[in-house]
């Protein structure tokens, strides 16, 4: 004796946000029922476990049927099958495309390929995110990547329009796409301390300042926000003069030291390390023409700059003040002619380091 | 050539990928009407093709326009092989044929394939140029409007009700034709869909013709059904009520004129309101005989004055049944009549000869179970009132009593006038002449314009078991016609037996299993006001009809239509507890909606009786006989269950009663659903008494006491739950009503069920005071009638099932009628849903008991699930809960439910904004004090609402409700004052007198609307935001307005005839769609549940799309008529057929909240703590 068929269909599709989340998180129906029971939903409505099971199955079915619409969220608004109020649609989409930071941290900068997908079970085991959820998130990344790959125009805007995501989520996806496209190395042990949000911030900086689209002349170039501006990368080589020209280096150092003197406890370390640090930063800039070195951009920042500073126990404020003066002082160097490139470079590096420097 | 149909194919979107290589589709479209086909160009390599075709023009007869659907097929062009069909759209162009409905069909339609479901959408434009010439085209009936709604559609006024129309057409079912062996399932499904579409069109056209012949212009309460008879064919049949409707010229019709609208909505409702103001005088003048209240004759047999005294009437009532004893019921309920076409079929075991002799009617043998107004199954027939003082009754006794329900058709007609007063006679005669011209004075309506329904007799039903045979000549479906004719005759004669000349709330249904078919019909016997039947337009708004109204509308319909001295069955009559002028039965069963103006105490609730009966597998006549032998027992049991459950809830009337009996190979399922209410006019129900057979056994007695206690507790709890606080009686004539008073007071104050002994004492005293013969007490000791004996396990089970019905969770109410008695302040939250469950019985050796339990649990669990699903809408009410049961296969039970959940404002249901609004300064304080008090009362479920219980006072109307319902206001007789809450009553009295001064009703309306709008910001603002609570939580369910960015129109669906908080401004035509879905990859589609889930969702989507294309934004009176599901998991296959219907409408939101209650509140009356708020 068993219920063989059990369906409930509302003219307005009924969706329970809690169940939706459980579904998104990849719980099985039985797990979801357990979670809901523990959540006490039964007590408030005098229902039995059977009722809960039936409801959960129904909702899961609904979500499964909706899922294919969610692949292209714009369809959700003009499909006829489900009558879903707009704010619900927005919720469905936003939650469907939401991801776990721990998960994305694992695949950030990796190629969104079948190979990576095959390794998702490892990621799942490591992060505690269910495999199902991992797959959904991974597929989302891939889907967004594929769609925007072929589109012209600003990356964030494209994502927002095509996937109807909130600004925040669209920016996160832009970061993921950007990282995946440039294959930035994020998995090294030294980078483990960085969160996805740190990287997303950096990606935003890079997208806004270093890509083709950042220059802003022609708004409708393919990949304008995804590929770094080659010309700019070439020009970065010019910055080498800051470390190769001895006079310039000394001048720069003295300007910075004058400005910093007495303002920080770490002054002595700063003074002692100035040349090293400056070399590090400028070398990173000079090497960015190599794709390989672009990939290592973040690890380089950490190794060449952040770690030395951290071992000298700079505070975040120290870092801030140091970099500000380091950046600005270069403007006063009369023989240094590459102010525009310097600003474009340092502006991004500065904010990236600020973000990446955790006390 | 009277019509030119034009169609244009604009574009497609979301098409499926048909070419794997390119991941694209080369789509083109074929447009077909009749035998003409046009094609668009191929739009290569696109999933969102833009065809922008020319206008395809079809020049056709209007007959074809009515019958044929426009058929649009989307195909994928393939150079080398045959073109692949993507899917189809059938568009019913009927709405375009009526000038008042839609003028163009334009929109996105889902492209539907019977194997793959919805595959993309297509944008189509359709227009019709109709050169209508009514004289010439006799075969067409363009312009006749059809409504599924079973009341007068909201923006129309009924000028005349012509009566019953019916028609059926038959054909061979394509699925069973030889060709089906060689064609694909898709082709077969499409042939079926197309055929049924054609047949419905034809049926509608034929009915339209009948309507035109009768002089009408519309069919209301149109009910179309399919009988899939398998091998023997396909029957499409329909019934309806022909009317002449006038479009309301005022605001309602004039769409968005908000200024008008306070008047428009009430225009039809309010029509007899003026009469209400002066109510008291009205009925005195109506009923001269009652000026001095007549002595209540409670004992029928005693009175020898009336021609056929009751006792003799029994034998003559119906020979077949009077052959009597317990078993005689069988012949009655079993429809034995020899079927013309199959003489070999006699299902009547006991007395076929008798029945034929005794009844001149052709349909003599068919099942007649007139659940009369007093269908107390356990009441002993008066003749057998010899039963002992112990109030224990046996079922066997009640059986024979039940026979009487069928009652004699003779007695009642002529002698009616004698006791009831000349007016009644006059009325009856008038109406009779009007109605007798009709073959079947049936009405499919379930709610009526005020004043239409005069008296209600009770439920009449008939069932007949038939063996299906092949329909040899589809053009002359004589057999099927004859079958229904018989049943209708039977119904007619039952109605007559109840002293009624008409049947309202009439419906027909079938249940088919293999070659056996149960035909059922049921309705409510009633007496109607002849005004609506007379020729010539009548203005219901005018007050001239007043004098014809024999009784106040809040209780008039309860007054017995039959002659109390010659009753068709024994019933306890009392004087109406509301007007105290006429007799009412103690219980009233009906199939109609609660009349809006009826006086109700407390809230109503859904009451269901469920029953399973095993039967042996058999073939042919043996099978049919077995089924017809079981039927009467099932009817009886269902009836007993209903009665017990009604008592358990302390209610005294059932509305919307629908008894469905489904036949399967090895079992019969019975499901009776109704909405129980406490009608203020009827006496309080007695309790339920438990008795054991062996009184000596102490332990047993203990047990019995325990059960008794549980029952009593349940009754008490239910009284609280439903806020049933029967009004204390205030007799107009203290002497006469002394007895009643005593009894009632006792009950209200003391325990709900007095001890048996104590009760009998009460009775005696009561009867003494009312001059009755004491020997008759027993027969109308209604409480005694409900004794359950618990000797046998059956009874124990009964009691258990009685008590295991879970109460609805807090915050929920449920009913199967249009509106929930006792709730009037709907907010706009709305969720229509369909839920289907199939249960597999794996245990082969089930007993009836076991089956019953399973079936009951199935229904109960389903309800529980619904409550759980909809918990975010609390407080809400599930309205129009329509259960359909079926036995699709040997071990399967299928239950399908369609209903709508509607939110209401709980707080306001407890307070009295109306009074507040109208109470001036001084009493304001008092009101404010009262409010918190009431809130507490509500939270603790206490049921004492000070002013709520006095009939005759208006207590709790909202401002708006008051406006429209002033007709319900009766000025309380002086005697009532003492117990009335002065503050709440004062304004109503005020208005009563005020109303007198108003020259016209409309003026009064306007005036009041103004007063309220200006006068009390408080009330209005609170009603405007409706419930603050649901606002946030259930926004999702009602957000239609803000569906902003998307291109899809939000279409609301509801099984009700209205949408709360809105006005329907236009009816766009009937939606009647039939779909088949089949799969050969069941597992891949998520199993049976996944398959059906998406199919139902697809059906909703297609209904919405059609409505939107007509320019509408809602479907009202939506129903799922058929949901036939078949599966074969082993073959990974399943098939499902769904038939849905409804009325496409345009509604506008009430910005001005006053109209909201007008729609729903029209009926509320003076009592109950919950009404009135909006």
Beta carbons of A85 and B14 less than 8 Å apart:
no
Please tell me whether residues A244 and A342 are part of one structural domain: yes
Q: What is the mean pLDDT of residues B510-526?
A: 91
Determine whether the interchain pair B1104/A80 forms a contact, defined as Cβ–Cβ distance below 8 Å: yes
Q: Are residues A351 and A312 in the same domain?
A: yes
Same-domain pairing of A89 and A142: no
What is the rounded average pLDDT of the residues B249-278?
Answer: 37
Which tokens hold the place of B129? 């140029």
pLDDT greater than 80 at residue B532 = no
**Residue B1123: CB atoms within 10 Å:** 22
On chain A, the residues whose CB falls within 8 A of the CB of B838 are 3-6
Could you say which of A125, A152, A187 is where a domain stops? A187
Of residues B1123 and B772, more confidently modeled = B1123
CB–CB contact A80 B1101 (8 Å): yes
Q: Is residue A248 part of a domain?
A: yes
pTM above 0.80, yes or no: no
Flag whether A255 is in a domain.
yes
Q: Is B1149 on the interface with A (CB under 8 A)?
A: no
For residue B728, give the nearest of B719, B720, B736, B737 by alpha carbon: B737
Region B435-447: what's the mean pLDDT?
Answer: 78
Residues 6+ apart with CB under 8 A from B1092: A5, A7, B836, B1125, B1134, B1136
Indicate left, alpha or beta for B758 from its phi (over 0: left) and psi (-120 to 50: alpha). Answer: alpha
Q: Comparing A251 with B757, which gets the higher pLDDT?
A: A251
What is the total count of domains within chain A? 3
The answer to whether B607 contacts chain A (CB < 8 Å) is no
Q: A196-210 and A339-356 are packed helices; what angle lies between their axes, rounded to 10 degrees? A: 170
The Cα B469–Cα B514 span in angstroms is 11
Residues 186-205 of B with CB under 8 A from A: none
* Helix, strand, or coil (residue B900): strand
Alpha-carbon gap: B1093 to the closest alpha carbon of chain A (Å): 6
CB nearest B1097 (choices: A2, A9, A87) = A9
* Mean pLDDT (chain B, rounded): 68
pLDDT per position as a tens digit, B1077-1119: 999 999 888 899 999 999 999 999 999 999 999 999 999 999 9
- pLDDT-derived band at B448, boundaries 50, 70, 90: confident
Sequence-distant (≥ 6) Cβ neighbours of residue B497 within 8 angstroms: B317, B370, B406, B407, B408, B409, B412, B568
Separation in Å, CA of B835 to nearest CA in chain A: 4
Give, in degrees to the nearest 5, the angle at Cα B869 between B865 and B872.
Answer: 140
- Is position A337 within any domain? yes
Nearest to B593 by CA among B450, B442, B446, B449: B446
- The answer to whether residue B397 scores a pLDDT higher than 90 is no
Strands B787-789 and B812-814: unpaired
B1000–A contact, CB cutoff 8 A: no
Take residue B730 and report the two structure tokens written for it. Answer: 């205030």
SS3 letters for B459-498? EEEEEEEEECCCCCCCCCCHHHHHHHHHHHHHHHHHHHHC
B321 vs A164, higher pLDDT: A164
Domain range for A265 is 230-356
pLDDT digits (tens, 9 = 90+) for B635-686: 988 998 898 888 888 888 999 999 999 998 888 999 999 999 998 888 888 7
Among candidates B392, B591, B615, which has minimal Cα distance to B507? Answer: B591
Judged against a pLDDT cut of 70, whether residue B91 lies above it is answered with yes
Q: Do B1100 and A11 touch (CB under 8 A)?
A: yes
CB contact under 8 A, A86 and B866: no
> pLDDT digits over B681-713, tens only?
888 887 777 776 655 566 777 777 887 888 888
Quick one: three-class SS letters along B647-683?
Answer: HHCCCCEEEEEEEEEEECCCEEEEEEEEEEEEECCCC
B1033, B1046, B1112, B1116, best to mutate vs chain A, most A CBs in 10 Å: B1046
What are the phi and psi torsion angles at B448 (to 5°)? Answer: -135, 160
Is residue A202 included in any domain, yes or no? no
The length of chain A is 359
My answer on whether A350 and A243 are in the same domain is yes
Whether residue A239 is found in the same domain as residue A352:
yes
Which of B833, B871, B1125 has its CB closest to that of A8? Answer: B833
Minimal Cα–Cα distance from B1036 to chain A, Å?
6
pLDDT of B899 strictly over 90 = yes
Query: Does the bond joining A49 to the residue before it have cis omega, within 30 degrees of 0?
Result: no
**The residue count for chain B:** 1174
A172 in a structural domain = yes
Q: Which two tokens stand for residue B340?
A: 């013309």
CA neighbor of B967 nearest in space, from B538, B678, B656, B545: B545
Query: How close A27 comes to chain B (CA, Å)?
Result: 17
The per-residue pLDDT for range B581-618, each reduced to its tens digit, is 788 888 899 999 988 888 888 888 999 999 998 888 88
Instruction: State which of A156, A171, A187 marks the end of a domain.
Output: A187
Splitting chain A (359 residues) into consecutive groups of 10 residues, what average pLDDT does each group show? 87 92 94 89 76 92 92 89 91 94 90 86 91 94 90 87 92 92 88 91 90 68 75 87 85 87 81 86 88 89 88 86 88 82 89 87
Q: Do A5 and B1048 touch (CB under 8 A)?
A: no
Residue B854 is predicted with a pLDDT of 87
Indicate the residue of A47, A51, A75 with minimum beta-carbon distance to B14: A75
Confidence of residue B959 (pLDDT cuts 50, 70, 90): very low
Residue B406 at interface with chain A, using a CB cutoff of 8 Å:
no
**Within this chain, do residues A79 and A105 fall inside the same structural domain, yes or no?**
no
Element (H, E) at A207: helix A196-210
**What pLDDT, on the 0 to 100 scale, is given for residue A196?**
92
B833: nearest CA partner in chain A: A10
Do residue A271 and residue A345 come from a single domain?
Answer: yes
Distance from the Cα of B806 to chain A's closest Cα (Å) equals 10
Q: Tell me: the pLDDT tens digits for B976-1002?
A: 333 333 333 333 333 333 333 333 344
Which of residues A53, A78, A94 is at a domain's end? Answer: A94
Taking a contact as any Cβ pair under 8 Å apart, which residues of chain B between 86 and 115 contact chain A? Answer: 108, 110
Tell whether the model's pLDDT for residue B207 goes beyond 60: yes
- A204: in domain: no
B869 contacts on A by Cβ (under 8 Å) = 8, 10, 14, 55, 58
Q: Are residues A30 and A133 in the same domain?
A: no
Asked whether residue A203 is domain-assigned, the answer is no
Token pair recorded at residue B145:
């409007």
The answer, for B1130 touching chain A at a CB cutoff of 8 Å, is no
A183 and A147 part of one domain: yes
Whether pLDDT at B380 is above 60: no
Count of C-beta atoms within a 10 Å radius of residue B887:
20
Cβ–Cβ below 8 Å for B840 and A1: yes
Tell whether A65 and A112 lie within a shared domain.
Answer: no
Closest CA of chain A from B709, distance in Å: 24
CB atoms within 10 A of CB B1128: 12
Helix (H, G, I), strand (E, B) or coil at B419: helix
From the CA of B944, how many Å to the nearest CA of chain A? 26
Residue of B nearest to A59 (CA): B869
What phi, psi does A225 have (nearest 5°)?
A: -100, -5
Q: For residues B134-154, give the mean pLDDT.
A: 77
Q: What is the pLDDT of residue B16?
A: 92
A247 in the same domain as A133: no
Q: Yes or no: say if B1107 and B871 are a contact pair by the CB < 8 Å rule.
A: no
Chain A residues closer than 8 Å to B1046 by CB: 77-78, 86, 89
Q: How far is B1087 from chain A (nearest CA, A)?
A: 9
C-alpha distances in Å from residue B843, one per residue of B837, B846, B889, B1122: 18, 6, 14, 28
Q: What is the pLDDT of residues B966-977, one digit of tens each?
A: 333 333 333 333
Integer Cα distance of B408 and B793 in angstroms: 36
* Residue B411 burial (10 A CB sphere; 0-12, 13-18, 19+): buried
A61·B1089 Cβ contact <8 A = yes
Q: Please, is A248 exposed, middle or buried when counting C-beta atoms within 10 Å of its C-beta (0-12, 13-18, 19+)? A: middle
Confidence of residue B802 (pLDDT cuts 50, 70, 90): low
DSSP code of residue A228: B
Whether A138 and A116 have beta carbons less than 8 Å apart is answered as yes
B16-75 per-position pLDDT tens digit: 998 888 888 899 999 999 889 999 999 988 999 999 999 999 988 878 888 889 999 999
Q: Which pLDDT score, from 0 to 100, does residue B607 have?
A: 92
Q: Is B245 part of the contact surface with chain A (CB cutoff 8 Å)?
A: no
Mean pLDDT of B179-189: 82
Q: Is residue A170 part of a domain?
A: yes
Judge if A272 and A341 occupy the same domain.
yes
> For tokens 């006390």, what's the residue?
A359
- Could you report the per-residue pLDDT of B337-369, keeping only the tens digit for each? 333 333 323 233 332 322 323 333 333 333 333
pLDDT band of B248, cuts 50, 70, 90: confident
Interface A–B counts its CB contacts (< 8 A) at: 163
pLDDT of A160-201, one tens digit each?
999 999 999 999 999 999 999 888 988 888 888 999 999 999
User: What does the pLDDT read at residue B980?
Assistant: 32
Give residue A223's pLDDT: 62
Q: Are B918 and B959 in contact (CB under 8 A)?
A: yes
| Integer CA distances (angstroms), B1045 to A89, B110, B565, B1041, B1050, in order | 11, 20, 69, 11, 12
- Distance in Å, alpha carbon of A63 to nearest chain B alpha carbon: 11
Chain A residues with at least one Cβ partner in B under 8 Å: 1-15, 44-48, 50-52, 54-55, 57-58, 61-62, 64-65, 75, 77-83, 85-89
CA dist., res. B654 & res. B587, Å (int): 8
Give per-residue pLDDT as tens, A193-207: 999 999 999 999 988
**pLDDT at residue B223, as a whole number:** 93
- pLDDT for position B823: 82
Predicted confidence band of residue B747 (pLDDT cuts 50, 70, 90) = very low
């Amino acid at each position: 004796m068993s219920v063989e068929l059990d369906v409930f269909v509302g003219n307005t599709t009924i969706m329970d946000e809690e169940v939706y989340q459980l579904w998104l998180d990849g719980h099985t129906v039985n797990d979801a029922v357990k979670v809901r029971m523990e959540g006490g939903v039964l007590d408030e409505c005098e229902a039995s476990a059977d009722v809960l099971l039936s409801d959960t199955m129904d909702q899961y079915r609904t979500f499964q049927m909706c899922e294919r619409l969610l692949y292209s969220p714009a369809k959700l608004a003009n499909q006829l099958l489900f009558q879903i109020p707009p704010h619900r649609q927005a919720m469905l989409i936003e939650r469907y495309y939401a991801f776990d930071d721990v998960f994305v941290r694992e695949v950030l900068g990796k190629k969104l390929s079948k190979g990576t997908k095959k390794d998702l079970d490892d990621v799942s085991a490591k992060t505690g995110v269910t495999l199902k959820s991992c797959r959904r998130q991974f597929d989302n990344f891939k889907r967004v990547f594929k769609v925007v790959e072929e589109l012209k125009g600003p990356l964030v805007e494209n994502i927002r329009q095509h996937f109807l995501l909130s600004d925040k989520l669209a920016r996160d996806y832009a970061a993921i796409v950007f990282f995946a496209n440039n294959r930035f190395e994020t998995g090294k042990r030294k980078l483990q301390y960085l969160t996805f949000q740190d990287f997303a911030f950096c990606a935003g900086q890079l997208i806004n300042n270093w890509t083709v689209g950042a220059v802003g002349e022609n708004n409708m170039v393919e990949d304008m926000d995804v590929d770094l501006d080659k010309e700019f990368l070439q020009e970065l080589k010019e910055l080498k003069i800051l470390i190769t020209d001895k006079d310039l280096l000394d001048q720069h150092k003295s300007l910075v030291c004058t400005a910093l003197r007495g303002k920080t406890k770490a002054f002595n370390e700063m003074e002692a390390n100035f040349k090293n640090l400056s070399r590090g930063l400028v070398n990173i800039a000079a090497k960015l023409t190599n794709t390989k070195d672009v990939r290592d951009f973040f690890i380089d920042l950490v190794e060449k700059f952040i770690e030395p500073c951290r071992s000298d126990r700079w505070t975040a404020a120290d870092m801030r003040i140091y970099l500000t003066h380091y950046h600005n002082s270069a403007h006063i160097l009369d023989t240094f002619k590459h102010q525009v490139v310097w600003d474009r470079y340092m502006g991004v590096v500065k904010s990236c380091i600020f973000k990446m420097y955790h006390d | 050539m009277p019509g030119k149909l034009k169609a244009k194919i604009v574009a497609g979107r979301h098409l499926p990928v048909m070419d794997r290589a390119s991941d694209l589709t080369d789509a083109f479209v074929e447009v077909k009407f009749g035998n003409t086909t046009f094609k668009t160009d191929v739009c290569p390599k696109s999933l969102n093709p833009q065809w922008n075709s020319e206008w395809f023009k079809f020049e056709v007869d209007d007959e074809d326009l009515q019958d044929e659907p426009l058929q649009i097929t989307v195909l994928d062009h393939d150079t080398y092989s045959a073109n692949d069909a993507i899917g189809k759209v059938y568009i019913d162009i009927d709405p375009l044929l009526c000038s008042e409905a839609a003028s163009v069909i334009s929109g996105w339609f889902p492209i539907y394939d019977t194997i793959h479901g919805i595959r993309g959408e297509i944008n189509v434009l359709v227009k019709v140029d109709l050169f209508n010439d009514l004289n010439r085209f006799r075969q067409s009936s363009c312009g006749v409007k059809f409504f599924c709604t079973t009341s007068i559609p909201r923006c129309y006024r009924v000028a005349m009700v012509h009566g019953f129309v019916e028609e059926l057409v038959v054909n061979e079912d394509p699925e069973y034709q030889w060709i089906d062996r060689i064609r694909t399932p898709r082709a077969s499904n499409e042939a079926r869909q197309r055929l049924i579409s054609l047949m419905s069109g034809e049926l509608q056209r034929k009915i339209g013709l009948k309507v035109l012949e009768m002089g009408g212009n519309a069919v209301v309460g149109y009910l179309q059904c399919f009988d899939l008879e398998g091998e023997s064919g396909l029957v499409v049949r329909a019934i309806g009520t022909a009317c002449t409707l006038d479009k309301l010229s005022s605001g309602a019709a004039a769409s968005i004129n908000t200024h008008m609208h306070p008047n428009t909505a009430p225009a039809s409702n309010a029509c007899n309101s003026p009469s209400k103001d002066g109510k008291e005088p009205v009925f005195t003048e109506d009923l001269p005989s009652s000026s001095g209240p007549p002595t209540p004759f409670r004992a029928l047999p005693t009175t020898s004055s009336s021609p056929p005294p009751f006792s003799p009437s029994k034998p003559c009532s119906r020979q077949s049944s009077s052959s009597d004893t317990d078993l005689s019921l069988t012949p009655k309920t079993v429809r034995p009549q020899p079927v013309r076409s199959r003489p070999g079929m006699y299902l009547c075991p006991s007395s076929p000869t008798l029945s034929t002799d005794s009844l001149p009617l052709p349909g003599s043998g068919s099942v007649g179970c007139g659940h009369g107004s007093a269908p107390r199954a356990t009441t002993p027939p008066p003749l057998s009132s010899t039963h002992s003082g112990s109030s224990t009754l046996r079922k066997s006794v009640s059986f024979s009593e039940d026979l009487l329900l069928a009652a004699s058709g003779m007695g009642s007609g002529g002698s009616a006038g004698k006791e009831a007063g000349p007016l009644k006679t006059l009325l009856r005669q008038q109406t009779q002449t009007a109605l007798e011209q009709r073959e079947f004075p049936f009405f499919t309506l379930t709610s009526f314009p005020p004043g239409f329904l005069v008296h209600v007799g009770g439920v009449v039903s008939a069932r007949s078991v038939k063996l299906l045979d092949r329909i040899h000549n589809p053009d002359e479906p004589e057999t099927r016609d004859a079958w229904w004719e018989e049943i209708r005759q039977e119904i007619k004669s039952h109605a007559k037996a109840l002293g009624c000349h008409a049947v309202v709330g009439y419906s027909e249904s079938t249940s088919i299993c293999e070659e056996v078919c149960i035909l059922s019909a049921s309705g409510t016997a009633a007496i109607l006001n002849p005004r609506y039947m007379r020729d010539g337009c009548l203005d219901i708004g005018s007050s001239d009809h007043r004098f014809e109204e024999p009784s106040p509308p809040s209780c008039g319909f309860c007054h017995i239509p039959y002659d109390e001295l010659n009753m068709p069955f024994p019933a306890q009559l009392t004087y109406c507890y509301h007007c105290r002028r006429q007799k009412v039965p103690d219980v009233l069963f009906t199939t109609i909606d609660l009349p809006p103006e009826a006086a109700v105490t407390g809230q109503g609730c859904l009451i269901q009786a469920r029953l399973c009966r095993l039967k042996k597998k058999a073939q042919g006549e043996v099978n049919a006989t077995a089924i017809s032998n079981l039927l009467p027992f099932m009817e009886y049991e269902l009836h007993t269950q209903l009665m017990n459950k009604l008592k358990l809830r302390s209610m005294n009337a059932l509305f919307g009663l629908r008894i469905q009996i489904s036949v399967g190979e090895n079992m019969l399922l019975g499901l009776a659903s109704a909405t129980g209410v406490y009608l203020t006019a009827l006496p309080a129900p007695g309790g339920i008494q438990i008795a054991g057979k062996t009184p000596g056994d102490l332990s047993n007695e203990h047990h019995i006491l325990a059960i008794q206690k549980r029952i009593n507790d349940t009754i008490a709890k239910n009284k609280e739950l439903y806020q049933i606080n029967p009004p204390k009686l205030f007799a107009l004539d203290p002497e006469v009503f002394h007895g009643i008073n005593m009894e009632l007071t006792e009950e209200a104050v003391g325990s709900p069920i007095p001890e048996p002994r104590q009760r009998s004492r009460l009775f005696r005293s009561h009867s003494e005071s009312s001059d009755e013969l004491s020997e008759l007490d027993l027969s109308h000791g209604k409480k005694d009638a409900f004794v359950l004996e618990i000797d046998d396990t059956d009874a124990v089970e009964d009691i258990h099932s009685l008590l295991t019905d879970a109460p609805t969770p807090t915050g929920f109410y449920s009913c199967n009628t249009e509106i929930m008695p006792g709730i009037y302040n709907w907010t706009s939250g709305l969720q229509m849903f369909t839920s289907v469950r199939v249960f597999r019985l794996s245990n082969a050796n089930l007993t009836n008991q076991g089956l019953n339990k399973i079936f009951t649990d199935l229904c109960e669990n389903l309800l529980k699930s619904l409550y759980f699903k909809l918990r975010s809408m609390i407080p809400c009410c599930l309205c129009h809960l329509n259960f359909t049961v079926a036995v699709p296969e040997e071990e399967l039970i299928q239950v399908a439910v369609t209903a709508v959940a509607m939110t209401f404002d709980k707080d306001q249901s407890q307070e009295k904004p109306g009074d507040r609004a109208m109470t001036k300064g001084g009493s304001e304080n008092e009101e404010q004090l009262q409010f918190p008090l009431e809130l507490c009362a509500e939270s603790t479920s206490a049921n004492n609402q000070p002013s709520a219980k006095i009939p005759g006072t208006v207590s709790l109307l909202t401002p708006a409700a008051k406006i429209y319902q002033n007709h319900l206001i009766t000025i309380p007789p002086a005697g009532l004052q003492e117990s009335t809450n002065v503050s709440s009553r004062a304004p109503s009295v005020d208005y009563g007198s005020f109303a007198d001064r108003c020259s016209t009703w409309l003026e009064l309306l306007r005036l009041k609307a103004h007063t309220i709008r200006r006068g009390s910001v408080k009330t209005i603002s609170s009603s405007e935001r409706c419930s603050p609570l649901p606002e946030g939580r259930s926004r999702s369910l009602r957000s239609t307005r803000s569906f902003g960015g998307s291109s899809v129109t939000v279409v609301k669906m509801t099984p009700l005839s209205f949408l709360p908080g809105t006005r329907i401004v236009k009816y766009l035509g009937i939606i009647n769609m039939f779909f088949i879905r089949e799969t050969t990859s069941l597992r891949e589609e998520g199993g049976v549940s996944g398959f059906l889930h998406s199919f139902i969702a697809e059906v909703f989507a297609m209904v919405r799309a059609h409505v939107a294309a007509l320019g509408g934004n809602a479907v009202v009176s939506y129903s799922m008529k058929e949901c036939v599901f078949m599966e074969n998991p082993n073959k990974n296959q399943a098939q499902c057929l769904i038939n849905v219907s409804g009325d496409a409408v345009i509604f506008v939101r009430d910005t001005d909240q006053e109209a909201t209650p007008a729609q729903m509140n029209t009926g509320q009356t003076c009592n109950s703590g919950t009404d009135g708020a909006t």
